[in-house]
Amino acid sequence: GENVEQHPSTLSVQEGDSAVIKCTYSDSASNYFPWYKQELGKGPQLIIDIRSNVGEKKDQRIAVTLNKTAKHFSLHITETQPEDSAVYFCAAPKIAGSARQLTFGSGTQLTVLP
Amino acid sequence: DVKVTQSSRYLVKRTGEKVFLECVQDMDHENMFWYRQDPGLGLRLIYFSYDVKMKEKGDIPEGYSVSREKKERFSLILESASTNQTSMYLCASSKSWGTQYFGPGTRLTVL
């Protein structure tokens, strides 16, 4: 099965700065990489995902990049705002080729300081 | 909007008690999941169900069982609760492939 490692475990940035969270995966056949955001008191929610046929995907202030050769993918948040403070999880298919089950990273607590 | 609801936000039980955690989704999703969330360990899959009465063990099934008698409902059962099962429990659902929709979680404390 897939193994996903996520770094850093905590990240503090000043409001307006950028934040980057990185994940590595073990199975080179994996083809789907979602990112989830968990706000305090809520369950995780999908914010962006990328499939292995593209190298980058953007949605307003968030973007995800994928390096298949190095087997890592990253979440980039620009112009951070206080509402970006949350726990972020990366994930990859538990079994390559099927996104029915996911293996999640250990999470990153992002704090945006005013 | 997809809605996944969990029966309790907070639950306190005693060691040895039988505990039921209920999850209901309203979007006719085939797949339902139970995860456990602990600091520094991320989300770990306990059990997965891909159809009524069908289930698969996840990464940490020991001490847990599940029941899915109806498509919209997935129950997690702790047959004899222990203190090391104190945790946040998250239920999720999805269509055949892709996005998982999570409930708000149940924080279980076993004394």
Is 80 exceeded by the pLDDT of residue B14? yes
Q: What is the mean pLDDT of residues B34-56?
A: 93
**How far is Cα B106 from Cα B5, in angstroms, rounded to an integer?**
10
Q: Which residue of A has its CA nearest to B99?
A: A46
Q: What gap in Å lies between CA B31 and CA A100, rounded to an integer?
A: 8
Per the CB < 8 A criterion, the answer to whether A45 and A38 are in contact is: yes
Closest chain B residue by Cα to residue A107: B42
Tell me how many residue pairs between chain A and chain B have CB atoms under 8 A apart.
Answer: 51
Measured CA to CA, the distance from residue B54 to residue B48 in angstroms comes to: 9
Determine how many CB atoms are found less than 10 A away from the CB of residue A47.
17
> What's the pLDDT score for residue A80?
98
Residue numbers in A near B31 (CB within 8 A): 100
Residues of B in contact with A101 (CB under 8 A): 33, 45, 48, 58
* Cβ-Cβ contacts under 8 Å, A94 against chain B: 45
Give the model confidence (pLDDT) of A7-45 as tens digits.
Answer: 999 999 999 999 999 999 998 888 899 999 999 999 999
**How far off is chain A from B30, nearest CA to CA, in Å?**
10
Q: Can you say whether residue B42 is alpha, beta or left, with left for phi > 0 and alpha for psi between -120 and 50 degrees?
A: left
Cα–Cα distance for residue pair A60/B6, rounded to 1 Å: 32
Is A47's pLDDT higher than 90? yes
pLDDT at A10: 97
Contact B96 A100 (CB under 8 A): yes
pLDDT for B2 equals 67
Nearest to A101 among B41, B45, B90 (CB): B45
Beta carbons of B42 and A6 less than 8 Å apart: yes
Flag if B43 and A46 touch (Cβ within 8 Å): no
Condensed to tens digits (0 to 9), the pLDDT of residues A67-98 reads: 999 999 999 999 999 999 999 999 998 876 67
